[in-house]
Amino acid sequence: MLGKDYEGQDCSLARALETIGERWTLLIVRDAFYGVRRFSDFQAHLDVPKAVLSDRLGGLVDDGVLERRPDPDRGGRHVYELTAAGRDLWPVVYAMLTWGARHRSPSGRVFRHAACGTALDARGACGACGTTPPAADVVMSLRRGARTLRDDPVAVALRAPHRLLEPVATRPPA
Ligand SMILES: [Zn+2]
């Protein structure tokens, strides 16, 4: 099996990839910025096998990117939230979203500075305010006319404008 470490690489990029370079990991981090917190919601939105999701969430908790705590609404369950180190990945996620939209396929989402409503530029900055807002000050919405391919509960909830890091409102499965 291919390992996840790059022992021979004396570089902080290699250290970062050991944490976020595995398949699915960065999409889990993206969903955490979108406000996904529950295992069942990650699973519904990502269609990732449960064993893989469990492994990736556990790894992100071990590496200090996510924090696992009791679900306040559902006894015996847990929620996963980004730590301060995890929230520092916002520029990475945004840069990759922007790169993908530029070089792979157009993005159906727009990210705006919550304080003024201005769409963020390619670097994640608000040109009107001259600041680069943290994820907590960013509102995501669907681009007008964008087609939404998924209809899972998370995708449906995220059709409405949504402030990043605020818990996404899905109905818990019975
Ligand atoms: Zn602004």
- Within 10 angstroms of residue 107's Cβ, the number of other Cβ atoms is 15
CA of 67 from ligand 1 middle (Å) equals 30
CATH number of the domain bearing residue 122:
1.10.10.10
CA of 157 from ligand 1 middle (Å) equals 25
CA of 129 from ligand 1 middle (Å) equals 4
CA of 135 from ligand 1 middle (Å) equals 13
Query: Where are any strands of DSSP class E within 71-173?
Result: 78-82, 109-113, 138-142, 162-163
In a domain, 76, yes or no: yes
pTM to 2 decimal places: 0.94
Name the strand (E) or helix (H) holding 162. Answer: strand 162-163
In a domain, 127, yes or no: yes
In a domain, 168, yes or no: no
CA of 122 from ligand 1 middle (Å) equals 14
In a domain, 3, yes or no: no
CA of 125 from ligand 1 middle (Å) equals 8
Domain span holding position 53: 12-163
CA of 75 from ligand 1 middle (Å) equals 40
In a domain, 71, yes or no: yes
**pLDDT category, 146, cuts 50, 70, 90?**
confident
In a domain, 174, yes or no: no
What average pLDDT does this structure show over 36-58? 97
Lowest mean pLDDT among 44-48, 95-99, 142-146: 142-146
Contacts of 133 by beta carbon, 8 Å cutoff, 6+ apart: 113, 114, 115, 120, 124, 126
pLDDT of residue 132: 97
Q: Which residue has the tokens 């406000």?
A: 35
The tens digit of pLDDT for each residue in 72-126 reads: 888 899 999 999 999 999 999 999 999 999 999 988 999 999 999 999 999 999 9
In a domain, 27, yes or no: yes
Number of structural domains in the chain: 1
pLDDT of residue 147: 77
In a domain, 7, yes or no: no
pLDDT of residue 1: 61
**pLDDT category, 29, cuts 50, 70, 90?**
very high
CA of 155 from ligand 1 middle (Å) equals 26
Q: Which residue has the tokens 């890091």?
A: 165
Supply φ then ψ for residue 45, to 5 degrees: -80, -30
Better-predicted residue by pLDDT, 32 or 174: 32
